[in-house]
Each structure stands twice: as structure tokens, then as C-alpha cells.
Amino acid sequence: MSMEALKRERIQLFKDAIIGDKKPERIPIFSNMWSWKILDAGYKLSEALNDYEILKKSLRHFYENYPADICHETGWRNPIQVTESMGNNAYIINDDQNSISIKDQCYMKPEDYDALISNPKKFLWETFLPRKFKYLKGSDSSDALRVGIQNYAKFGQFMGEVAQINEEFGIPDFFDPNGAILHWANGFEILFNMLRGIRGLSYDIRRNPDKVLAAIEAIDEVFAKPIMERTKGTPKGTNMNCSVDINPVLLAHTILSPKQFEKFYWPHFEKMIDYVTEEDKIVYIFAEGDSERFYDFFRQFPENRFALLVEQNDIFKMKKELPNLTVSGGMPVDLLGKATPKDCTDYAKKLIDELGYDGRYIFSEGKMISFPNDATRENLKATYEFVRDYRG
């Protein structure tokens, strides 16, 4: 089979698993693979994150050894060449522990809300970015900005080369790059991940909920609305060159109660539901942390349009409670890291038999595979080969 044909086959697997008109030929594999592949290829994190060539070699090594249908290389574990060039050193790489961590950055203060709300672009450009990137301070900031843009262009080139490697191995783009809603580009996630941090936003939603709501609206006007506008005029229907159309990542929901979720987050999903219904699109939600307390909301997602990957929840229970969704995840890294290949393939069989009997399951791990103990080579290879070959 040609790589182009393999890519088409993989795209169809995801379409069938989510749209559900017919059962997919087999259960697709969404590899929840992150920095583990760098270590598995024999490199240190500090080497790889400073060298795009090593990252590309690591990706090739992964594809050559593990038959995943998608490996979501976003490059977002490797922005340090961009951030450090402008004077931000928030990433901490520990080669002894094989870990990358990032400080909970908070460069927006509670008293900045009014400035953010009145003119988000002005506040973020003039005030926020020079706080975050120390070389962007001062009247000669153009030199540092130029270097930052040049490094961003190199990062973009790297992502283009990742796309070429994907083509070589018959791996499709996972989501539509022209999709209407980017991963993080909604106001609440931006406040959480980029502006106020976990602690700051947790206080704000209690002390200044109206300002948080106004800030969400103002941020969406700047970042989400142009993206929505850009998609007007693109063809209706799911993009057959990608596995899914939209791939939102939920992280900020982890600090919310259901009542707070309804107020601060759900309006974003209501817009998304309207969009995907009108434009006939499909969505794969990557939900980090615990999501079970939001199932009453997720039941409102229209049938045959949404898949949901959960990390910390019982996926068998989710299958029963959310029959409107395609479920994804469930493979424990404890097994992949510590059990035998037989234990792993037995569990993968159970997942497929109990979750994929109707075709509405996408195999994946219940945790981002990052550390050496998250999987052994033998277990990962045996598991992916089993899922690829098993027909139920």
C-alpha cells in the first residue's frame, strides 16, 4: 500500500469512529505520545529541545518502531528556542529525571483586568509581553523582537518538516489547520494558561467574576473571532484531508465546579456546537485531568460529531454515561510501563471489545506518555501492533 493510501485509510478510520455511519475497519490509534519518544530514540531532553534535527530523528524513530495512526507532534514541548531568545527562561529541563516542567507564570496582575478588557491587544502587546520576555523591554526592543520572529519562523519551518515526515509514514494531519477553533484560543483557557495562572484565576473567578467574564469576551474578540471569520467561505462538511476538524484541549476546566463551568466555559462550547452543526464538522476533545463532573454538559454534545479523550476517569463508565460521544483513551501507562506484553494486549482487547463493539472508540493512553516508566518499548510495540491487527 502506498503511503498516500495508508494516510487516506487512517483518516477514514477516524471519520468512521466519530461519525458512526459505519463501523471503522479497525479501531484507530491516537498515540498520546510526548517526550518519551525522545528518550526512546536515545537522546536527552536538553539535546532535543535545543535541536530540531534531533526532534525530527526522534519522530522518525517512533514511526519506524510503533504503528500509531496519529502521533500528535505539536512542537509545543519545544518552544524554548523561541522563548529564550526573547528572555523568558520558564522551562526547566532535568536530564537526570527526564522531565520538563514550566513555572506557573503569572505576568498579569489582578488590577490589570480593566486595561485588558478595554483594549486586549494594547495591554498584551505593551504591558504583558515585556513582563514575560525581558529583552522586549525598552525603546530598542525591535532587535529582540526581530530575533524572536526569526526563531518563530524556524519553529514554523520545523513544523512544516514534521508534516513532511508524517507524509513519509502515511500519517495524516490530525486536525484542520484552518479549523475554526484553535486548541487554546478561547478566553478562559488563555486567562488560565497564559495570563493569570492556576492560582490567580482561581481567586479571580470568586472575587471578580464579572471582570473574568468581560475579559473572556474581550479576548475572544481579538483571537477567536478572526479565526471564525477566516473559515467563512470554506466548504461545509468534514475536511477529508485531516482526521478531525477541531481538536480543543481542555485544561482550565480542572479548577472549575460544574456551576462555574456553566458560567465561564460552557458558552464557548455552545458556540462550538452551533458551528459544527451548521458546518457539518467533527471534533476530538483532549481533556486533561478529571472531567467526570461535567458529564451533564457533555451529554448536550450532538451525536456523531464529538470524540472525548479523558485522562483520569473510568472510561467504561464514560461509555455508558455519554452514549452520544465516541470515547477515547483508557490504556493505563502503569501497564505499559510495568506489566508484560501479554498483560498489555489483554487489556487492549478488553478496551476494544467493551468500548469499540459499536465502532465508536479511539484507542489511546489515559496519560501523556512522557517519562521512561510510562511504557517499555516491548509493551508499546506489542500493544499498537495488537490494536492495528485486531478485528474484534
Partner 1 sequence: MQYDAMTYPEGYEKAKQEELNFLPEDEAIRENVMLNFFLSILQF
Determine if 309 is a binding residue for partner 1 (CB under 8 A).
no
Place of cell 484531508: 241
Nearer to partner 1, 96 or 140 (CB): 140
End-to-end, the C-alpha distance of the chain in Å comes to 23
133, 174, 284, 301: residue in contact with partner 1 (rule CB under 8 A) = 133
Nearer to partner 1, 160 or 278 (CB): 160
Nearer to partner 1, 86 or 355 (CB): 86
Q: Where are the alpha helices (DSSP H) in the chain?
A: 3-19, 36-40, 45-48, 52-65, 80-83, 113-118, 120-123, 129-132, 142-168, 187-190, 197-207, 209-222, 224-231, 258-264, 266-279, 295-298, 315-321, 333-338, 341-355, 377-389
DSSP class of residue 246?
B
**Residue 283 contacts residue 274 (beta carbons within 8 Å):** no
What x/- string results for residues 229 through 268 when contact with partner 1 is judged by CB under 8 A?
-x--------------------------------------
Query: Nearest 5°: phi and psi at 243?
Result: -70, -45
223, 266, 284, 301: residue in contact with partner 1 (rule CB under 8 A) = 223
Nearest to 177 by CA among 160, 158, 155: 160
Length of the chain: 392
Determine if 122 is a binding residue for partner 1 (CB under 8 A).
yes
Q: Around Cβ 254, how many Cβ atoms within 10 Å?
A: 15
Nearer to partner 1, 38 or 124 (CB): 124
Nearer to partner 1, 213 or 222 (CB): 222
What x/- string results for residues 137 through 166 when contact with partner 1 is judged by CB under 8 A?
xxxxxxx-xx-xx--xx-------------
Signed CA dihedral, 280, 286, 292, 293: sign only: negative
* Residue 140 CB, nearest approach to partner 1 (Å): 4
CA separation for the pair 241, 96 (Å, rounded)? 41
Q: Which stretch binds partner 1 (CB under 8 A): 2-10, 82-90, 258-266, 364-372?
A: 82-90
Determine if 130 is a binding residue for partner 1 (CB under 8 A).
yes
DSSP class of residue 66?
-
What x/- string results for residues 182 through 211 when contact with partner 1 is judged by CB under 8 A?
x-xx----x--xxx----------------
Nearest to 361 by CA among 387, 343, 332: 387
12, 50, 65, 83: residue in contact with partner 1 (rule CB under 8 A) = 83
Determine if 347 is a binding residue for partner 1 (CB under 8 A).
no
42, 110, 209, 226: residue in contact with partner 1 (rule CB under 8 A) = 226
CA separation for the pair 298, 312 (Å, rounded)? 16
State the residues that interact with partner 1 by CB under 8 A: 76, 79, 82-83, 86, 88, 119, 121-122, 124-126, 128-130, 132-133, 136-143, 145-146, 148-149, 152-153, 182, 184-185, 190, 193-195, 223, 226, 230
